[in-house]
Structure 1
């Protein structure tokens, strides 16, 4: 925040955690983008990705051991209510099929991406091969084009520089889902005589609960952006809303004006400020918003799979954006049973439903966990992976 690059490089050399955040939710990478030093942004970005890979590898033995349970398959459905047919065509809806055999996992889906109210459909399969080397273990198949891409590939210098261009030319965004105030209360049914709601979800009897106190806090900063940047970003968002592609946009290499060292004294830094810590870098241009949601969850004690087994499978799949929020949600202190149905608000008046439609212990042919012989490798098929 003050431009002391020698201190930052010393911390990086000793593998200081780049994901750490301050009390306001900002990371070192966010502050580097605000300050505008391109080399420091690149160094932090590379270290962040290195530490993420190391974290995955550190968890790998434990996950592989946990996955060596019974083979199973499950069908998870994502859907929106039919009361909003127009939005149901725009917003994501999918049924994901999961197969697990030993330490191998396969997920089949038709939802490739969802950005800016645009759904991209296809026929994808994500495969995790626990016996393969780490660099070979994650593969995504495009079954329509018959190509595949390995997910954990080393980024080229050009790819890193392009990512830095985008970071320096875009808003700095931070979002947190506060779980401290979350409580669960039994859902009620009936008009005159109220009673706890219990219904069958698929083949399983489930108790319904209201999830209270879900708070999404978001912050957006743009003190590093010029008026030209802001206007260009607005034009890009309008292009994307009309079906454009983010990878087609031109982010010119940018050098941000660096703020002068404000020369804080030790006395100034230790002065208590009301309700906030002193900000050392460029003066913030920040917008904050807070939204409170209510969700419903159905828990079944008849479901044959334990919640810990589900978390082990999802932790392997977690790099794919479809499951990140679901994994975070089920890690909270849930009521007794297994979550067989979730109703999650995605907009103030629209609620999405996630349901375990099918589940069974099963055996599969080993071939479903391998790349077909007629598929060709395409490292650039999915630029965001």
Structure 2
């Protein structure tokens, strides 16, 4: 093996990590940059974790190395820790990751409320409409009108659609009220159905003092769940994104399309070349766990336009100098020489990687005369709500793209494989009190294009005397950054629903009608599609999820057949229309 003298001159700290010389690393870190990248795009912490050097990783974490950074391939430190298969490494990295995220959240909420304070006061409604290309699923897709009041540093958001459970949407009347100042914030969740209010009040400086690593210790079952589940990294690829004006009309008379949305004229854009890239790694799983995961993969993906690339383990390239986390015996000089081509070799376990790319189109209705500011007024609110709502989180990821000029008065984006969300803004400054909003069905068209001074009645932010208020302590209600816990909970719910449907089938109902059976097949297809989208299964879920039998195959064939027939009908209608127009022109 090379001596590594060149590497010691150019990357001295990285070389200490390579050799796991953690004592010397502790001394050298005091006045050096812990976030410097090596030629392979790894920080010191990434290198230590990938090599499985727990001692060096602990030293770096004590010196505040960034536990949330991604390496050159887009993997986080936690992803690489799970791939080592080392429970201690996963426990250590997960603990520091959660500590970092909680610290950032405590600091982030007052900052967001400060941004809201500086923006002009307003009221607006957001209508959420869910649609599906699967006919029978579209019957259960709900709508919701989200009502937002903003006054000073106070914010109230009303919703009625709470979540999705057991193949049905959960509804209820909820209000989220946020109040804050420079160093404090109060968050209230108001359950109008039960007349109960949960409050969370915290002083930022005191909370930061109380926050310790010991409070962030992960449970052993959480570590085990990650070690027995695939490592999944989903990202939105917008490098080649293109906004194109939608056209209307036929042949030479095609013009840029414009539509009126709630009283405002909007230019219609198609958003092309947006891709959701999902990378799945399984090298840390046992052969039995890999087998179960592959068996539960969703063949419905073939109907969803998904392209797959698979990369197996790196062959039989090990030598007598190799170790578990350096299987191809890469030398320091080879690794740290940016001109040296490692080809398919790398440190860490040989990767077993699947890459899925799902391309989709979105539609935007942009209005340049809309009276609200996207950046100043709406995005801070979406940022705040994204901490508690997965739907708002998906909207936040999309709405922060570099849009064409104007305000997106209407947006249509995919949420899951089979569900789209259409969000429409309207009724700006139409209601100053909560009572007024209850009398408004849907979104009303705005009557004026200019907004004068608007004041929100402060009763909007008060709690009715008849409601029971309970203090929820110091817990900050946050959306899990990687969504894995939420996704696993939804998956378990769907699996339980599927099992209960099977148990209460023909035996208890005395037989099922053909129509009911047909709908049940579609529901099972959707369950499996959502399971694939939600990712992150645990060993129990992998073993228990339903197998694709002939009924499900039939449901998919019927769905594909119906889609093909619908497309054929549309083509025939368009051909007939063109023929009529040509005859009309000929007669003239």
TM-score range relative to shorter protein: 0.7 to 0.9
More displaced 10-residue stretch of structure 1: 229-238 or 187-196: 229-238
User: Structure 1 residues 47, 371: closer, same or farther in 2, change over 3 A?
Assistant: farther
**Which residue of 2 is the match for residue 255 of structure 1?**
none
**Which residue of 2 is the match for residue 272 of structure 1?**
341
**Which residue of 2 is the match for residue 252 of structure 1?**
none
**Which residue of 2 is the match for residue 225 of structure 1?**
285
SS in 2 for 1:167: helix
User: Structure 1 residues 349, 188: closer, same or farther in 2, change over 3 A?
Assistant: farther
TM-superposition CA deviations, 1:235-291 (whole Å, max 9, x none) = 9999xxxxxxxxxxxxxxxxxxx94654532144244134x6x43112222211112
Instruction: Return the offset for 1:214.
Output: 0.5
Could you say which structure has the higher helix fraction? 2
Alpha-carbon distance between aligned partners in 2 of 1:234 and 1:375, rounded to the nearest angstrom = 48
Alpha-carbon distance between aligned partners in 2 of 1:150 and 1:307, rounded to the nearest angstrom = 28
User: Larger C-alpha radius of gyration, 1 or 2?
Assistant: 2
**Which residue of 1 is the match for residue 486 of structure 2?**
none
Alpha-carbon distance between aligned partners in 1 of 2:380 and 2:478, rounded to the nearest angstrom = 27
**Which residue of 2 is the match for residue 43 of structure 1?**
92
SS in 2 for 1:363: coil
User: Structure 1 residues 219, 106: closer, same or farther in 2, change over 3 A?
Assistant: same
Could you say which structure has the higher strand fraction? 1
Cα contact 2:232–2:279 (8 A) shared by 1: yes
User: Scaled by the length of structure 1, what TM-score is found?
Assistant: 0.80
TM-superposition CA deviations, 1:143-193 (whole Å, max 9, x none) = 434353649997956764443232222221101111111111111111242
Choose between structure 1 and 2 for higher RCO, CA contacts under 8 A separated by at least 6 residues. Answer: 1
Cα contact 2:237–2:276 (8 A) shared by 1: yes
What is the number of residues matched between the two proteins? 362
Cα contact 1:105–1:369 (8 A) shared by 2: no
Alpha-carbon distance between aligned partners in 2 of 1:106 and 1:78, rounded to the nearest angstrom = 17
Instruction: Return the offset for 1:329.
Output: 1.8
Residue 171 (structure 1) aligned to one of 230, 242, 250? 230
More displaced 10-residue stretch of structure 1: 215-224 or 92-101: 92-101
**Which residue of 2 is the match for residue 304 of structure 1?**
371
Give unmatched runs, 5+ long, in structure 1. 239-257
Alpha-carbon distance between aligned partners in 2 of 1:76 and 1:133, rounded to the nearest angstrom = 30
**Which residue of 2 is the match for residue 71 of structure 1?**
121
Alpha-carbon distance between aligned partners in 2 of 1:222 and 1:75, rounded to the nearest angstrom = 44
User: Structure 1 residues 3, 345: closer, same or farther in 2, change over 3 A?
Assistant: closer
User: Structure 1 residues 384, 160: closer, same or farther in 2, change over 3 A?
Assistant: farther
Instruction: Return the offset for 1:221.
Output: 1.4
Give unmatched runs, 5+ long, in structure 2. 1-49, 299-322, 430-453, 481-588
Cα contact 1:3–1:261 (8 A) shared by 2: no
Residue 23 (structure 1) aligned to one of 62, 66, 72? 72
Alpha-carbon distance between aligned partners in 2 of 1:213 and 1:88, rounded to the nearest angstrom = 26
RMSD: 3.6
Which aligned pairs between 1:191-270 and structure 2 lie closer than 5 A? 191-192=250-251, 193-229=253-289, 259=324, 262=327, 264-269=330-335, 270=337
Cα contact 1:71–1:363 (8 A) shared by 2: yes
Which aligned pairs between 1:83-162 and structure 2 lie closer than 5 A? 86-91=136-141, 93-114=143-164, 119-131=169-181, 134=184, 137-145=186-194, 146=196, 148=198, 150=200, 160-162=219-221
Instruction: Return the offset for 1:47.
Output: 1.9
Instruction: Return the offset for 1:73.
Output: 1.8
User: Scaled by the length of structure 2, what TM-score is found?
Assistant: 0.54
1:189 aligns with 2:248: yes
SS in 1 for 2:145: strand
SS in 2 for 1:137: strand
User: Structure 1 residues 312, 82: closer, same or farther in 2, change over 3 A?
Assistant: closer
More displaced 10-residue stretch of structure 1: 226-235 or 52-61: 226-235
SS in 2 for 1:76: strand
Residue 399 (structure 2) aligned to one of 330, 333, 344? 330
